[in-house]
Every structure is written in structure tokens, then in C-alpha cells.
Structure 1
Amino acid sequence: MGLYSEMLEKEKIIKNLEDSKKVIIIVCPGCACDSIAYSLDYPDRRVEPSGDMAQDAVAINMVKKEWEEELEKQGKTVGYFWISDPCKLTDFECEDLRRETENYDTVAVLGCPSACAGIHRAIKDSKKKIVPMMKVVGSYVFHMKPDEKNENFYIDKEASYVKLFNK
């Protein structure tokens, strides 16, 4: 079971990034990727894993690319960093995160609020702005099915279950 998250409204994210010049997008290939695949009917993961979780998380890669392009159009310098489970950072991962975010004024989190909390814990001394991009709205149990070419898994919506918190 995972946390089912949805993207915040695009206008809200853009407004929160308005004063930012250099933005690094922290990407979670876990629950956030599954949630995006489900809500947007994007492929979730590759059938044949490459051994690189960042490359195998297809849905979140697609959204990251859309946001990179959007922010670059606004004249911002954009980078990104992948963290497996930013909600559960080890001390080693915290050090990596501090190093990766060093040259940015803003950290945008393409992950749930638990990911934001983990990232905040890691970089709280830096005084960087942290901008959430997703919100948790429920929990899920997802089942995957391969596409016709057997390249990517999609969420099998008939076999999956999403329980929204407000219903």
C-alpha cells in the first residue's frame, strides 16, 4: 500500500516558484510515480528494469521533463536529483542532498508531503525555499499490467484500489 498523491494546481506551483532563479527538482520514483501513472494514464515503469530506478520510473520522468521545460521557459535555471524514498532519508542521502542542492535557491519536490519533510530535515540549515508539487489525497494498492509491446507497465485500474481520505 502506498500514499496516493495528486499534483498541486499548476498555477499554485508557478506562483510558489515566482521569485526563484535556480530551481532543483527532487524526484521521488516511488509512490509519486505510481500516483502520476494512475491519475494521468501514463506508463508507470519499464517491464525490463535497467538497474537505474530513475530511468525505469517512466511516469514521473515525463512530469519532471514537463516541469523542466516550463521553468526554463520562464528563464529559470533548472536541475534535478533523484532520491529513492525521500521520505526515509539516511544520513548518507542527506549529505548527498545537501551537496546536490548547494547551488540552487529553491528545492521543488516532485513527491508527497512526507518527501518534503524528509528533504526539509536534510537541508533545514541552508534556508532554501522548499516548494511542494504534490499533495496526499489517499492510499492505494496498485496492480500492474504490461503494454502490448511489453515495454512498460501501466496501472491496471480494474484490479487496483484507491481509497481517498475525504470519501
Structure 2
Amino acid sequence: MPTVRPRLLPWCAALLLCAWLPAQGQYLWKDSKGQMHASDQPPPRDVPDKDVIKRPSAARPAAAPAPAAAPASAAAPARLPAASAPVDPELAQRRARAEQEAKAKAQAEEQRLAAQRAENCQRARAHLATLEAGTRLVRVNPQGEREVVDDAARAREAAEARNAMASNCR
């Protein structure tokens, strides 16, 4: 039965996670009479922050807004909550993870291209060295006959090898 345990472990972990998640959304506070209350809803507004014992991890105590002295100053706080609204930590974590994955993919692609350029550079150098060695080069044509590479073809291939080196050997 050793194969049952590895299959059972993910299910047990998922079950524990499901049982743990609802407990994360609980508020715990003390009312004006000193009585403890627990709920998944936030406490009433008349309960001061000091009496709220436990909040869900996503709920942060709101900063007390300053009293508005003039209508111009009342317009400024109206824009602040949108800019300073609490960011969903799970969403921020997913975005950060997606950015990291995109960077990792881009880096892996760049490394793959660099390796391919290095290989192409090495091949072009070897081919150019062969062409410049001055030895007789023989190729097999489509009919299966051997042909000697003439000087014009050798010069053309050497120019192509130099172009390949210029683009790949950086």
C-alpha cells in the first residue's frame, strides 16, 4: 500500500486548507458591555478600533479621516481612498509571480538565443577557416557526382561565412 499514501496526501492537504479558509474571515470584538462577539461581518461602526480584537488578514483598520474644514479640502480625501485603497494581497502576489515568470521566460529565451548565436558563430568560423585553408574542396551534387568547388564559389561562401560571423559573433 505504499502507492496510496502519495495519492492521499494532496487530498488531505486540500481538505485542511478548505477547513482553514473560513476561519480567516472572522472578526472578534468586545462591545460596550464587555461581551465578546464573533462574526464574519465587521463590527458595528460604534465599536472603537481598540475593542476589535481580531480582523481577517485582508481587513486593515481604516485611518481616521481628518475633519474637513473647507470644501476644497473635502475634495482631496475623495481621491485618496482610490489611490490608497488596500490592494488585494493575493492579486498582488499573482501579479508579482506572473512578472517573475515573464522575466524568467524572457531570460531563458535570451539564453537560448545566445547559445544558438555562439553555435552559429563557431560553425561560421570553422567554415571560413576551411575555405581559407586553400585545400581542394569537393562537394557531391544532386546526381551523386563529385564536384570540385571553384574559386568563385569559394569566395562567395567565404563572404557568406564572414556575414554569418558578423551577425552571430558579438
Task: Please indicate, yes or no, whether the TM-score normalized by the shorter chain is above 0.5.
Answer: no
Larger radius of gyration: 2
Larger helix proportion of the pair: 2
Question: Normalising TM by the smaller chain, what interval?
Answer: under 0.3
Larger strand proportion of the pair: 1
TM-score, length of structure 1 as denominator length: 0.16
TM-score, length of structure 2 as denominator length: 0.16
Higher relative contact order (CA 8 A, sep 6+): 1
